[in-house]
């Protein structure tokens, strides 16, 4: 899903449009199994708090105040 509003990207040093990275549940399931469940909280974070991804450098955009 594309958004028209822009968010400042610290890598691109400018406001950029962003998208949400779709969660690959099969990959996360495998990682969770291989880490004996240690990865589960990270997986849940991705599902309930999706990270904005920069449309230009594809890096994560963290919301800083
Ligand atoms: Zn960027």
Q: What is the pLDDT of residue 9?
A: 93
- How much distance in Å is there from the Cα of 7 to the middle of ligand 1? 9
- Asked if residue 48 has pLDDT above 90, the reply is no
pTM above 0.75, yes or no: no
- Asked if residue 28 has pLDDT above 90, the reply is yes
% pLDDT > 90, the chain:
62
- How much distance in Å is there from the Cα of 54 to the middle of ligand 1? 5
Q: What is the mean pLDDT of residues 31-39?
A: 97
- How much distance in Å is there from the Cα of 49 to the middle of ligand 1? 19
Q: Measure the CA–CA gap between 34 and 27, rounded to whole angstroms.
A: 11
Beta strand spans in the chain (E): 7-9, 14-16, 18-20, 52-54, 60-61
Q: What is the pLDDT of residue 65?
A: 42
- Asked if residue 2 has pLDDT above 80, the reply is no
């Amino acid at each position: 899903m594309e958004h028209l509003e822009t968010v400042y990207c610290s890598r691109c040093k400018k406001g950029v449009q962003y998208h949400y990275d779709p969660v690959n549940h099969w990959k996360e399931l495998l990682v969770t199994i291989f880490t004996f469940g240690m990865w589960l909280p990270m997986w849940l974070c991705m599902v309930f708090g999706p990270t904005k991804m920069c449309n230009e450098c594809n890096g994560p955009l963290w919301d800083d105040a």
